[in-house]
Amino acid sequence: MFPCPNCNTSVPDDALTCGGCGVFLRSTNPPTVVPAEQRMTIAPVPVESKLSSPIPDGPKSRSFARFGYAAVAILIVSVLGGLLYSGVEQARDASRRTMTRCRLKQLGLAAYNFSDQYKHFPPRNLPSLTKSPSVTVADDEVPQSFFTDILPYIGQPELYGQLNSRLPWTNAANKPVFSTIISTYMDPRVPHPPRNEDGYAIAHFATNSKCICDTKTVTLAEITDGTSNTMLLGTVNAGFQAWGDPTNYRDPSHGFGGGPDAFGPIDRDQFVQVLLFDGSAKTLSVKTPIDICKKLGDPRDGQPLGDF
Q: Per mean pLDDT, which range of 201-205, 259-263, 302-306 is the poorest? A: 302-306
User: What pLDDT is attached to residue 82?
Assistant: 64
Return the percentage of the chain with pLDDT > 90, whole number.
53
User: Is beta strand 231-235 parallel, antiparallel or unpaired with respect to 205-208?
Assistant: antiparallel
3-class SS at 5? coil
Rounded mean pLDDT, 131-148: 69
For the chain, the structural domain boundaries read: 79-297
pLDDT at 136 over 70: no
User: What pLDDT is attached to residue 158?
Assistant: 97
Contact 4, 26 (CB under 8 A): no
Q: What is the DSSP letter of 56?
A: P
CA distance 273 to 266: 9
User: What pLDDT is attached to residue 96?
Assistant: 72
Q: Per mean pLDDT, which range of 135-139, 188-192, 282-286 is the poorest? A: 135-139
pLDDT at 275 over 50: yes
Contact 233, 207 (CB under 8 A): yes
CA distance 39 to 36: 5
User: What pLDDT is attached to residue 304?
Assistant: 77
Rounded mean pLDDT, 181-210: 94
**Higher per-residue confidence, 15 vs 224:** 224
CA nearest neighbour of 136 among 125, 147, 127, 146: 125
| Residue-wise pLDDT tens digits, 143-177 | 899 999 999 999 999 999 999 989 999 999 999 99
Per-residue confidence band for 44, with pLDDT thresholds at 50, 70 and 90: low
User: What pLDDT is attached to residue 143?
Assistant: 85
User: What pLDDT is attached to residue 97?
Assistant: 82
Backbone φ and ψ of 2, nearest 5°:
-150, 150
What is the CB-side half-sphere exposure of residue 173 using CA atoms within 13 A? 7
Q: What is the DSSP letter of 271?
A: E
Rounded mean pLDDT, 263-290: 91
> Phi/psi zone of residue 270: left (φ > 0), alpha (ψ -120 to 50 degrees), beta?
left
User: What pLDDT is attached to residue 196?
Assistant: 95
**Higher per-residue confidence, 219 vs 48:** 219
User: What pLDDT is attached to residue 92?
Assistant: 66
Contact 261, 253 (CB under 8 A): no
Q: What are the start-end ranges of the E strands in 113-170?
A: none
Per-residue confidence band for 186, with pLDDT thresholds at 50, 70 and 90: very high
User: Is beta strand 231-235 parallel, antiparallel or unpaired with respect to 271-276?
Assistant: antiparallel
Contact 81, 75 (CB under 8 A): no
Rounded mean pLDDT, 111-133: 79
**Higher per-residue confidence, 72 vs 2:** 72
Per-residue confidence band for 240, with pLDDT thresholds at 50, 70 and 90: very high
Alpha helix segments (H runs only) across the chain? 59-118, 146-149, 157-161, 175-178, 290-297
Per-residue confidence band for 93, with pLDDT thresholds at 50, 70 and 90: low
Q: Per mean pLDDT, which range of 5-14, 100-109, 117-126, 268-277 is the poorest? A: 5-14
pLDDT at 291 over 70: yes
User: What pLDDT is attached to residue 43?
Assistant: 56
User: Is beta strand 249-250 parallel, antiparallel or unpaired with respect to 205-208?
Assistant: parallel
User: What pLDDT is attached to residue 28?
Assistant: 47
**Higher per-residue confidence, 183 vs 135:** 183
Rounded mean pLDDT, 198-220: 95
Rounded mean pLDDT, 9-19: 73
